[in-house]
Structure 1
């Protein structure tokens, strides 16, 4: 997927936590950067800026020193390498989290990197690091992976052409930060960018400048050993990272061992040419417990006493396995006795060439190969097979002037291709996920051909306008063969899907900066997402079969936002959004003894809400190291047109879901951190925080009969990062934290449930749905973690 290497960035006070891309004041934003990069003289408001030749420093960062008397600012321009930067779409609500926000804590998964970002939530997926990250609820309707967003790392695509991305390969120790682009974003990011995009940024070798070795350890047998090697200068920058983490888990059958390698190399070939090489490899070896019903969760949230038999303790979950692996009698077994788990590998290699055609124009060409090989006995069947994908993109960014004002133009094309071939096998009750007969096999492909275009024109000193258009043509071709067995005969049935989709995504944004304390923006964005091939072969009963008539989902979203930063002690950003969806793709589980979640199109739905972020130095003179960080999201998602058909053995009935809340979506969530880091004196480098995380209860079914309960957690952290003046002691860093201090029992993940029809033709109520399995994972009880890191 092409990613524009524009020079848009937000410039605001260096102590702020939030990062937006819609600032345009000449001495305070993008206009200044474009003027610096342009070969023509800058406007009067930007003259006096110290400039650096573009060919040597293609991306610029700006620091500001405030002058109180004249209310002016001095601008210091320094160089950085464009390979490590990702364009921030102008006018789109953007936040970021940097290493200072997550580098002094346990760092078990991507959740630790995004927990403080407004508009972002997360739930537990299928495995220790399979975090389901949501932007404005993008993945709340799913039970695994990163859905309805595009994911990148250092500008390389981490989402495969079928929209699949997973967080297993993310070890926070390897990263400098993450950028979050919120709202419909298909104009620039193409297919599946329904709610935005994520770009994870690895650490620079020049910043590491040596070798770092560390270990994290704590409750439930968790032990993570990692090392980072980095060197760099103007000619090259190299970062190598490796980690191995293992643990027993806090739920029965959740022990794991995950290893990750991550490499990024930037080489400057000439003053106008740069190469960036990217390599990521991850092996996920984790056993997997069965998702519970709500009643099972209340009885036995951690599935204790369920390892050998399903009836040994109340609340134990089980899977029903064919005794002979083909047909006939079944035997109920616990997940541990059956050997359920995920044993997957993901390998990605990418290469990018960046060429400065002249001082105003940059051309980029990028290729990425990405293989995902899965071996997942996660239900009564085992899912096995490779997914090979290839991504090629080329784009051009040009800076010029129109009517005497700065104009930036971006244009790009991309092509990605996925081929796959997988088989599913019945699991037999012999332990170790023993395979029986093949139950299905599928082969196919998906490719997407896309083009992007965007203009960003600063038509007045305090204004700029953004117009863009993107489009993608998608081709999905797949066949599935279903096998059935009996004592007298074996049969097979074939299903074919040949689907073609064409989607367009226009966008427009207007940004106004009336003063350096205020930035206002409004944006109309659009997005689209085609079904993936796996969606086409799961029936409403959760079994393999024909679901090939799914349509693309599309959305139109309106954002209205403001950023206020009156002083160096407070920064506030708020955005209201209203998004209209057509044919929204929603998934729901039919139970634990099914092969997958059923996906359907909701003809019309609406998402509306508010995202708020704040950072405040409450007492800058008395407590100069004290801060409060607050992120809050209100997310209201409802069906406006959808009729669901429920059936039993004797009849079927239609039920309108108009006005019902979309299940799985958390309506209110809040994160508040109260931090203190000693800035000077003998205790310089000592700090800590108290964190409160609150999630409101949310619906689990389309009829809104059953809710997953909300929760509030308290976490505590203390850390020490000695200053450089302490000599050798500066090389040693340590931390200690307590998670879930009050030892709350809470739901970390809940898959949507399918409503059922009673024999009398009425919908089943909450009492029935509370026995529906395949939904819930409990969150961690109180846990203690510590860690040390040494630099050589």
Structure 2
């Protein structure tokens, strides 16, 4: 069997770290090496004693020495995860977890996104990390592996953002930052507590001219959080956030030749006879307007050791996007379409109850719950030209209403007895998709489809001693086609209701250890077998269709090491190796071909320093990745592997009631040219999205406590 499940390798790792693990007493472990999590178990739990690969990104990594615009800034240090800033705010970030989500054409799919308990992933599995408010973030929990399946559909991994609660004296804070390529951001926030109500308020504006041509963007965000304790042991939390992006430019992808000539460039439109040097992005003025608003209300009540959680949420998302369909225009302009316009209302609820009871010589914690989600899209499509002028809203070509509904009951139990932690859970998901087509001149595409699946999870953790745990887990998971993946069939016709959900079997073994009180080691080996994998069928000018193609196999390992080196120095290393391949041939794809968008290996390393008062800090970071294919057959030139160095510096000062902070960051110190991300399966071979060379950002902030 391939390398990930050679048990002698696991045994060797145990032997290597066990001597150090026995060298300290439990009460000597630094608190920050055994943080409390809620992901996976839905109740507070120490990450060290949970049988899953999970990392916590704290507020300092999220906020210090960063502009706090893209969550990819904070996730680069997490093993198993690939988080890419595409330099394209029209398409959002590209995030994959153990290979899940790598083929997403825009936004995030295959990974469950959650913000303060409110889903940032729609019922069909499509998520938008741009809705995360990083300015007020307290921590991000990143769960990988089998236990992700307890979150249902599209849970190849789970990323949860938690924001701070308002408390203490009222404070007002102003932050401003600037950087290369016209980046600039202003953030103003206030927080505190009064009359038993904690409050957090935040507004920000981010602007950029864009690294690539035709990639300028403006992003306005707002956030409100209110907390109060209406009863003894109770907590009521209200959150609301908004995102506005008008006229966000889309630079599209480029061919290999164009990228090599100029990584900032757009592709020239060879069909433009009037202006031979005009780019596709300029000719069609590819762009997107986004308006996203959502709110959630959660109530938590403790009854001794038991706990009730009730959460309801709702929101609206509006998008208008102008795409480029140059290949279609050569055939028949009247069939091109090219403008997407939808207005989505969404809402849902999650209610669960956790009760704790003695069982034998141990403690049994059982959680039962029900989650509901609903979204309705009023969706239109238009030609992206009027007469001979492109990039304008033309004749109507699509008019429909799309409804999605999901209902998920779930249950989970954990028994802690002696040195064992035994965990099991099950979730039943049913997703219903309905389409009511009102544009009948090209036929009636009305119809519907439903998907249902049961996802069981089992896990066991054994405490060899207080400083060394080993665990194993297994689960079944699934991914339905998202609404965007159902939109088109390969022929360019209407909905593809024949797509099936991809089903997967997850296995994981791991070890967690504390070595010499100053070093924490997490290691995991995993395997995922998937059937009916969804792959790109055709992708032209932003319109992508999909098909069920093959079985796939993902096998790999993760290792993370955090250590305190003394004299204010600390280090972190996160390494992932991943063999992600097609396990069955289809079309021109042979058995063993690598999954596109997935590197075989990626790594992060950091050496950081802080003075004793933690008023001054600096760090050197290294990020590396192996090459990445953009097509299923691995026939085209892969994006080459790369390694870059980043440096950061931050400082803090206090004066009377004021707190000041500054940071300077230089990314890609050596000025390497590399492909930051790829567009999987583009039929015109415009796969490549160039990443910036050497670039900088700097910021200052002032906080006053009244």
Q: TM-score, normalised by structure 2?
A: 0.87
Which residue is equivalent to 1:97?
Answer: 57
**Alignment deviations for residues 501-558 of structure 1 (CA, whole Å, 9 cap, x no partner):** 11001111000111122111110122122112221222336x3434221111111111
Correspondence for 1:693 among 623, 629, 643: 623
Which residue is equivalent to 1:528?
Answer: 478
Question: Which secondary structure does the structure 1 equivalent of 2:474 belong to?
Answer: strand
1:781–1:544 Cα change, 3 Å: farther
Question: Which secondary structure does the structure 2 equivalent of 1:188 belong to?
Answer: helix
Which residue is equivalent to 2:646?
Answer: 715
The alpha-carbon deviation at position 369 of structure 1 amounts to 0.4
The alpha-carbon deviation at position 300 of structure 1 amounts to 2.4
**Partner Cα distance (2:237, 2:439) in 1:** 44
Give the superposed CA RMSD. 3.0
Correspondence for 1:134 among 55, 72, 96: 96
Which residue is equivalent to 1:318?
Answer: 269
The alpha-carbon deviation at position 598 of structure 1 amounts to 2.1
1:677 aligns with 2:610: yes
The alpha-carbon deviation at position 99 of structure 1 amounts to 1.3
The alpha-carbon deviation at position 151 of structure 1 amounts to 0.8
Which residue is equivalent to 1:631?
Answer: 574
**Partner Cα distance (1:82, 1:636) in 2:** 30
**Partner Cα distance (2:487, 2:438) in 1:** 10
Which residue is equivalent to 1:21?
Answer: none
**Partner Cα distance (2:107, 2:250) in 1:** 15
**Partner Cα distance (1:124, 1:717) in 2:** 18
Question: Which secondary structure does the structure 2 equivalent of 1:386 belong to?
Answer: strand
Question: Which secondary structure does the structure 2 equivalent of 1:632 belong to?
Answer: strand
**Partner Cα distance (1:661, 1:416) in 2:** 35
Question: Which secondary structure does the structure 2 equivalent of 1:270 belong to?
Answer: coil
1:234–1:362 Cα change, 3 Å: farther
**Partner Cα distance (1:116, 1:529) in 2:** 26
Which residue is equivalent to 1:365?
Answer: 310
**Alignment deviations for residues 280-323 of structure 1 (CA, whole Å, 9 cap, x no partner):** 100123111121112221122211xx6xxxxxxxxx33396999
Correspondence for 2:662 among 734, 747, 750: 734
2:435, 2:446 within 8 Å by CA — same for their partners in 1?
yes
1:273–1:533 Cα change, 3 Å: same
Structure with greater Cα Rg: 1
**Partner Cα distance (1:159, 1:400) in 2:** 34
The alpha-carbon deviation at position 754 of structure 1 amounts to 5.9
Which residue is equivalent to 1:415?
Answer: 372
**Alignment deviations for residues 749-790 of structure 1 (CA, whole Å, 9 cap, x no partner):** 2112268xxxxxxxxxxxxxxxx3442211112212110010
**Partner Cα distance (1:267, 1:342) in 2:** 38
1:266–1:596 Cα change, 3 Å: same
For structure 2, which runs of at least 5 residues remain unmatched after alignment?
1-20, 326-337
1:110, 1:129 within 8 Å by CA — same for their partners in 2?
no
1:292–1:468 Cα change, 3 Å: same
The alpha-carbon deviation at position 144 of structure 1 amounts to 1.8
**Partner Cα distance (2:373, 2:209) in 1:** 38
Which residue is equivalent to 2:135?
Answer: 173
The alpha-carbon deviation at position 496 of structure 1 amounts to 3.3
**Partner Cα distance (2:487, 2:27) in 1:** 62
1:234, 1:268 within 8 Å by CA — same for their partners in 2?
no
For structure 1, which runs of at least 5 residues remain unmatched after alignment?
1-27, 29-65, 307-315, 324-329, 484-490, 645-654, 756-771
2:457, 2:475 within 8 Å by CA — same for their partners in 1?
yes
**Partner Cα distance (2:270, 2:125) in 1:** 29
Which residue is equivalent to 1:327?
Answer: none
1:519 aligns with 2:469: yes
2:630, 2:681 within 8 Å by CA — same for their partners in 1?
yes
The alpha-carbon deviation at position 333 of structure 1 amounts to 5.4
**Partner Cα distance (2:481, 2:26) in 1:** 54
Which residue is equivalent to 2:220?
Answer: 259
1:401–1:319 Cα change, 3 Å: farther
**Partner Cα distance (2:43, 2:425) in 1:** 18
**Partner Cα distance (1:320, 1:352) in 2:** 54
The alpha-carbon deviation at position 569 of structure 1 amounts to 2.0
Question: Which secondary structure does the structure 2 equivalent of 1:102 belong to?
Answer: helix
1:465 aligns with 2:422: yes
2:150, 2:457 within 8 Å by CA — same for their partners in 1?
no
The alpha-carbon deviation at position 658 of structure 1 amounts to 2.0
1:292, 1:317 within 8 Å by CA — same for their partners in 2?
no
The alpha-carbon deviation at position 713 of structure 1 amounts to 1.3
Which residue is equivalent to 2:550?
Answer: 603
Which residue is equivalent to 1:791?
Answer: 703
Which residue is equivalent to 2:295?
Answer: 349
The alpha-carbon deviation at position 729 of structure 1 amounts to 9.0
Correspondence for 2:382 among 404, 425, 429: 425
Question: Which secondary structure does the structure 1 equivalent of 2:108 belong to?
Answer: coil
**Partner Cα distance (1:81, 1:180) in 2:** 10
Question: Which secondary structure does the structure 2 equivalent of 1:113 belong to?
Answer: helix
Question: Which secondary structure does the structure 1 equivalent of 2:173 belong to?
Answer: strand
**Partner Cα distance (1:596, 1:385) in 2:** 16
2:526, 2:557 within 8 Å by CA — same for their partners in 1?
yes
**Partner Cα distance (1:71, 1:661) in 2:** 44
**Alignment deviations for residues 10-55 of structure 1 (CA, whole Å, 9 cap, x no partner):** xxxxxxxxxxxxxxxxxx9xxxxxxxxxxxxxxxxxxxxxxxxxxx
Which residue is equivalent to 1:441?
Answer: 399
**Partner Cα distance (1:322, 1:548) in 2:** 39
**Partner Cα distance (1:507, 1:438) in 2:** 47
**Partner Cα distance (2:536, 2:399) in 1:** 22
The alpha-carbon deviation at position 565 of structure 1 amounts to 0.9
Number of matched pairs:
658
1:399 aligns with 2:360: no
Which structure has the higher relative contact order (CA within 8 Å, separation 6+)?
Answer: 2
**Alignment deviations for residues 445-494 of structure 1 (CA, whole Å, 9 cap, x no partner):** 111111110110013x21110111111111111245778xxxxxxx5222
2:528, 2:553 within 8 Å by CA — same for their partners in 1?
yes
**Partner Cα distance (2:657, 2:92) in 1:** 36
Which residue is equivalent to 1:291?
Answer: 253
Which residue is equivalent to 2:414?
Answer: 456
The alpha-carbon deviation at position 208 of structure 1 amounts to 8.3
Q: Which moved more, 1:279-288 or 1:598-607?
A: 598-607
1:686–1:431 Cα change, 3 Å: farther
2:593, 2:634 within 8 Å by CA — same for their partners in 1?
yes
The alpha-carbon deviation at position 186 of structure 1 amounts to 5.6
Which residue is equivalent to 2:321?
Answer: 376
Question: Which secondary structure does the structure 2 equivalent of 1:718 belong to?
Answer: strand
**Partner Cα distance (2:152, 2:319) in 1:** 26
**Alignment deviations for residues 253-295 of structure 1 (CA, whole Å, 9 cap, x no partner):** 1111100111111110010432111101001231111211122
**Partner Cα distance (1:82, 1:609) in 2:** 25
